[in-house]
Amino acid sequence: MGYTVYWKAASAPMVSAERLQKIREVFTAVADRYGMTVGGGENELRVEGGYESFLLRPGVAVQFGFCKTAGLPYTRPLVTALVWLMMDHPDMTVSHDGEPEELMMLVVPEVFEALSGAPADEKTFDAICSRLLGPDPDEEDVEVRGGAAGDDSDESDVEPPTPLLPECRTAPPAKADGNAGGTESETPPAAAGETEVRSDDKTGATKRKSSDSAAGAAKRKQPLSPP
C-alpha cells in the first residue's frame, strides 16, 4: 500500500466552484515543477501525478476521501491545497500516513500564497499548526490531546515525501527552493547498540562504540524467555 493522504469534510461542501477554479489555475502554473498534469471538466478537477488521480468536485460534502500518491512530487501541492481548504472549513480534517506535524512540513509556501493571496508568514504557519495539532502543549493550562485516530494503521511501503517546512512550532515557514523532491534527507538515527557521536566529539568515540557493541553482543547471547 502506497503513501496516502486523507481528508474529511462532512458538515458542509468541501470546495466551491470559485475555489476549485483557483486551485486549477495555481496547479496549472506549477504542474511542470511537480510532475503533474491538470485536467477535468468545468465541474471537476483531475490531477495526475504518476500514481492515483486526485479528484475534486465543487459543492460536495466528503465523508471520507483519500489519494495514494506514493510520496511522489505532486503530493506537495495536493497537501497544500487541502490545507488551504481546511483553514476556511468548519470541520474539515486532513491527515496522512505519518504524524500531523510531518504533514504540515509538506505545505509549499509559494503554492499556499498563490491560493490564499496572503503571505505564508509565521502567523499563517502557527494557525495551520493549531488546526492540525490542536492547542500548543507548551502553553500553560492547556489540555493535551491524546493520539490521533488511526495511529495503529499499517505501515506504508513507500517513504513519505521529504519535508519542505520545519516542524510545527519550532520555526516559521521557509520558502521552498523550487526543486521538487530535491531537499536533503535527514541523517538516519544511530543503529541499535551504538552511541551516536557528534562530528565535533572525537575523543573517546571508538571506545564508546566498542563498549556499546560488546554490551549488545553479551545481551544477544542470553536465551530468549518463552512467550
**pTM for the full model?**
0.62
DSSP symbol at 182:
-
pLDDT at 144 exceeding the cut of 50: no
Share of the chain above pLDDT 90, in %: 44
pLDDT in tens, 154-188: 444 545 554 444 445 444 444 544 443 333 334 33
pLDDT in tens, 51-93: 999 999 999 999 999 999 999 999 999 999 999 999 999 899 9
Q: From the CA atom positions of the chain, what is the Rg in Å?
A: 21
Predicted pLDDT at 173: 46
Does residue 222 sit in helix, strand or coil? coil
> 161 Cβ partners below 8 Å, 6+ apart?
3, 71, 72, 73, 75, 76, 106, 181
pLDDT in tens, 104-136: 889 999 999 999 998 878 888 888 888 888 765
- C-beta of residue 48 within 8 angstroms of C-beta of residue 39: yes
Cα 205 to Cα 195: distance, rounded to the nearest angstrom: 8
